[in-house]
Structure formats: C-alpha cells, structure tokens
Structure 1
Amino acid sequence: MQPASQTSGRINFDPDKAEQGLAQLVLTVVELLRQIVERHAMRRVEGGTLTDQQIENLGVALMNLEEKMEELKEVFGLDAEDLNIDLGPLGSLM
C-alpha cells in the first residue's frame, strides 16, 4: 500500500485505496474546521467575552479534539502534511 505521504498533496482516489483517500479527505475537512474553531475561540478569549469556566472548557475540548485527530492520523497512516491537500491553481488548503 502506498503511504499517504506519497500522494503529492492530492487526495488519493485509487479504487484499491478508497478508504485511505476518504480518510484523508474527511480528516482534512475536520482539521480545517478545527483550525477555524481554534482561531475563533482565541478571538473570543482575547476579546474577554468568555468566563474563566468557558475558557477552561474550550481549552479542554480543543486539546481533546487535537488528540483525537492525532490518533486518527496514526490509524490511517497520515501526517499533517497529508492533510494539506493541493487545490491546484488555488494553492494548498492550509
């Protein structure tokens, strides 16, 4: 099986490796959303609109999500670079 890192920044849609390509696509979307949520959370923290408890809960949730992403990347043999897919003329996703 070809490692995901050899996909040259593109999603691998080889029929024999559909699971790998789908996992790469799904984890890429989840990682993009995680980064957006993290940036928004930081703006809210810096803006002072959250209570100390909300900040704590948010931090724990983001750490748990990051940990789960690392587990899933390991399960599917992906690394952070594999999730930065090439969008052609638009450049890289992340």
Structure 2
Amino acid sequence: MTGPRDPADLLAELGDGRWQPPRVTPLAPRIELDRDSVERGLGSLVLTVIELLRQLVERQALHRVDLGDLTDEQVERIGTTLMALEEQMIGLREYFGLAPEDLNLDLGPLGPLLPRE
C-alpha cells in the first residue's frame, strides 16, 4: 500500500494522457427483468406517491372542516370525494397485488414515509 500521492503528480498524469478512468465491470452480463415485477414495482412507487398526497389532502380537508369555514355542501362534497379516492386506491392496490403496507417506504433513521392511520 502506498501513501498519499502528490497532487502535482496527479495533475501531470491527467495532462499527459497517462491517466485512465477506472474500468467498471458489470455485475452480470445481463439484467434479468420480467414485465410483471417491473409493472408491480412501478405501480408500487406511483401508488406510494399518490397515497402520500391523498393523506396530505385528507388532513388539510379535515383541518378546514375543523376550522368551520366550509359550508355543509362543501363538507359533504369533500367527504364523498375522499371516499371515492380511497375506493380507487383499493382497486389499484388490488390490481397490482399490493397491500397497504407495501406502499410505505422505510426511510431508515427517519422512519416510515407514511404515518400510520
């Protein structure tokens, strides 16, 4: 093992063409992909984003209802819309074969992306 190299030597190598970028070797000669796993993975990612937005909209709507600045008609429309959106999410999860917990990404030390409802 050698010690640290002199920066002037490194710059000289770059300038005279001796430096070569490191060669990256592929992990496998071919990436094995199948349509079903790609579709399910993409569906999971898209539905995770949609579920995050749905929860944010729902919280904002409930906050507005709690403030009392909406008419009864607006409250009814919000409730109907949120229920319809939830039904659509259930249908899409079933289509892709996903459970609700499949849409919650683990962000490591930050915890899960979606709060538990």
TM score, norm. by length of structure 1: 0.81
- Deviation readout 1:2-53 (Å, 9 max, x if unpaired): xxxxxxxxxxxx7321111100000000000000000000000000111000
Deviation of the 1:83 alpha carbon: 0.4
- Deviation readout 1:68-94 (Å, 9 max, x if unpaired): 000000010001100011123322111
What runs of 5+ residues in structure 1 fail to find an aligned partner?
1-13
Aligned with 2:70 (options 39, 47, 50): 50
Q: Write the distance in 1 (CA, Å) between the matches of 2:92 and 2:65.
A: 28
Q: Write the distance in 2 (CA, Å) between the matches of 1:29 and 1:68.
A: 14
Aligned with 2:33 (options 15, 36, 42): 15
Secondary structure of 2:98's partner?
A: coil
Matches within 5 A, 1:31-42: 31-42=51-62
Q: Write the distance in 1 (CA, Å) between the matches of 2:49 and 2:33.
A: 21
1 or 2 for the larger relative contact order (CA 8 Å, sep ≥6)? 1
Q: Write the distance in 2 (CA, Å) between the matches of 1:47 and 1:41.
A: 10
How many residue pairs get matched?
A: 81
Secondary structure of 2:101's partner?
A: helix
RMSD of the TM alignment (CA)?
A: 1.2
Q: Residue 85 of structure 1 aligns with which residue?
A: 105
TM score, norm. by length of structure 2: 0.66
Q: Write the distance in 2 (CA, Å) between the matches of 1:31 and 1:75.
A: 15
Identity level (%): 60
**Bigger radius of gyration among the two:** 2
Q: Whose helix proportion is higher, 1 or 2?
A: 1
